[in-house]
Amino acid sequence: MRVGTASALIAVLVCASCGGESGLGSSTVSPGSGTPYPFKAPPMGTVRTYGVTLIDNAGNTIQVGYSDTTVSMNAAGEYTAAITSTTGSSTIVDGTNYAVMTQSELYDTSGQELSYSFKNSSGVDITCAYDPHAAGPDFPVKVGQTWDFQYVQSCDNSAPAITYRQQGSVVDVEPVIVAAGTFTALKLQSTITWTDSAGTTRVETVTNWRDTKTLFSLKESITIAVSGKMPANGYAVSRTTELETIS
């Protein structure tokens, strides 16, 4: 899920932009022990809503939200989710639109995002694909598992290919309370590092709690360190995303 109309190409939730070449996707995994936790695809029509709180570099608190609806599944078991803002298409602070874009996301059978599609400001359909998939370990996972994952995003509008690197671990199983209720969750921690085409480097420190029954995200907390060429407009230095409802 990407936030902001420009951010589909320059910043994402845990799939953040970084300069690079295509064809570099790779992963190094150290297995954990104990119970394996597999991904469970959502039934068609499942709707999850999330609230997002961002803090920008000027200390402003920004509230946005979105719905995630499972709309189809193909013969290979890949499914499509429709992402729609629940707080409008424009939440502009210091020149940056933090509203969630309307988009369609394609996931593989293990719950990894393969691509997303949206309309740009000129109404042209754009699709961005990941090689081999977007951020996160390959499921199923076990407590103690670690991963070092490099993947590439490329879009069909001639934007430069983008390489990402994520290093993370499955820390523990613990209860987590969100607006949607109390869940038993896998706690994952990771760091994502990238440099965009403008020369801005970002390091995201991510803690993600995922439902042990389905591996869907319940809560995610991110801090973002920015260096190099600083953005001309405002930018997020932290964001928290929390599941509000599921039906």
pLDDT of residue 194: 87
Q: What is the token pair recorded at 105? A: 């996301």
1 near 176, Cβ under 8 Å? no
Q: What is the pLDDT of residues 153-198, one digit of tens each?
A: 899 877 788 889 999 999 999 999 999 999 999 999 999 998 888 8
Domain ranges of the chain: 7-246
Q: What is the token pair recorded at 169? A: 């671990």
- 7-246: which CATH architecture? Beta Barrel (2.40)
Q: What is the pLDDT of residues 78-89, one digit of tens each?
A: 999 999 999 999
Q: Give the pairing of strands 96-97 and 103-107.
A: unpaired
Average pLDDT, the chain: 88
**pTM score, two decimals?**
0.87
Q: How many CA atoms lie within 13 A of 151 on its CB side?
A: 27
Which amino acid, 215? L
Q: What is the pLDDT of residues 221-239, one digit of tens each?
A: 999 999 999 999 999 999 9
